Chain A
Amino acid sequence: MSFDDAYDALTDHDDDTRWAYGTGFADPLAGVPTIVPDGVEPADLVAYCLMLGDDALVMSHRLQQWVTRAPELEDEMALANIGLDLLGQARLLLSRAGEVEQAGFEQAGVAQGGGTARDEDALAYLRDPGDFRNVRLAERADEDFAHLVARLLVFATWRLALLDRLTGSRDPILAAIGAKGVKEATYHREYAAGWVVRLGDGTDLSHTRMRAAVDAVEPLAGELFVPHAIELRLTAAGVAVDPSALREEYDAVLAEVHRVAALPPPPPIEAATGGAGRDGVHGPELVEILTEMQELARAVPGGVW
């Protein structure tokens, strides 16, 4: 077989390996040791990995929906690449959640009958909306491209600040996921900020629409800075990041982008209302996403192709 010819490689069936794209992905944490830091309740760490993983998974799906709908081909590629980065982060975090869940079952011992932990696929494809812990901003549908880049700016600015602090986590896997993610989120924020500036400081029409978008999206950021009880417990244990500590960096970045984009200062952020995504309270928009994302996996359980 020639490694220079992808078609030769695909038709090389002399062993059991099938690496054609989309067929039986292996564990992205293969060979990474499973360690739960001392003094941490496994169920808390599972929930926290799901919070950060679901943020990435749901936002990634929303970005994928823009492919074939963006104003230019280059932007479809950018959005697909940003979505791919987030999907990669989601896979690591959901896999980590599954491993910690398994460790928790083993810790609880045979006395309780143990249990079988869920893997990344089960967590992504077989959970109901009420079990998703993403912030509600991630599931929100975008009215137009200006709303998308406004939402991506909010999301990426917040996530970059979060991942940057996660690099100091006592959980070595979360610290590593944070360190990789910082490099990616830096480009995500730059892309979104670039478009907010281009539209805000563009024509009268683009300015009006960009301003309407930031006025609609930015007040929704309130929930991003409200710590969940699990986040507070894990922050005290040196594992998680208290999201309320991210506000200062977030405000400074948004103010600077608005200034360069010739937009008025950012509108006030509203207090979060209507139940928290972190608690599994979501709108019909998440149901719509999951119906689309989970359809095949639920119709053909365990199916591979």
Chain B
Amino acid sequence: MVTLAELGIVRDVAMADDGVVVTITPTYSGCPAMEAIRDDIVRALDRAGFGRATVRTVLAPAWTTDWISESGRAKLAAAGIAPPGAAPRRGAGPVPLLLGVRPNAVACPQCGHAETEQLAAFSATACRELRRCLACREPFEHVKEI
């Protein structure tokens, strides 16, 4: 199981006078899992004997896929989901317009073949795209770099 810490969603855990304070950040603005994440953290800490924890949200700095840890990436790949490459770096000036293919090369998580193609820019969730391997023809999901 990929943990919230491995995904970079948990930003901080601290002990305060009145209990544990966990700081989390949303991946996307509309991420519908935030409620479940908050509740899971409260329950897990309660069950582990830490009492009622406080969960705080931070919006800045904005979450980036660069915060997904090495172990998190390995677990995603093992589950057949291609982990993200390095997040795009911005220079000065407007956000560059990309028409057509994004420059990131994504290898197939099933057979390892380097050549894959995008089937759809949005998949079951906003953070993933749907791709297909040109060698083994298996479709797979890829966590988009943001």
Contacts and interface: CB of A to CB of B under 8 A. Distances in A.
Interface in B14-58: 23, 26, 28-32, 34-36, 38-40, 42-44, 46, 54-58
A161 B122 contact: no
Interface residues of B, number: 45
B30 A249 contact: no
A15 B43 contact: yes
Contacts of B100: 194, 197
Contacts of B144: 187
Interface in A172-197: 172-173, 175-177, 179-184, 186-187, 189-191, 193-194, 197
B90 to A, nearest CB: 9
A77 interface: yes
Contacts of B120: 74-75, 77-78
B126 A190 contact: no
A180 B29 contact: yes
Interface size class of A (residues with CB under 8 A): 35 or more
Contacts of A102: none
Interface in A41-94: 74-75, 77-78, 80-82, 84-89, 91-92
Contact of A19 (B1, B29, B35, B123): B35
B62 A176 contact: yes
Interface stretch (B75-83, B91-99, B108-116): B91-99
A76 to B, nearest CB: 10
A182 B55 contact: no
Contact of A183 (B36, B56, B58, B62): B62
B119 interface: yes
Contact of A180 (B23, B36, B59): B59
A161 B94 contact: yes
A111 interface: no
A257 interface: yes
5 contacts: A77-B122, A77-B124, A78-B122, A180-B62, A249-B94
Interface of B: 1, 23, 26, 28-32, 34-36, 38-40, 42-44, 46, 54-63, 94-95, 97-100, 119-126, 130, 144, 146
Nearest first, the 9 A-B pairs at minimum CB distance are A88-B30, A31-B56, A88-B29, A176-B59, A74-B120, A176-B60, A84-B30, A78-B122, A81-B122
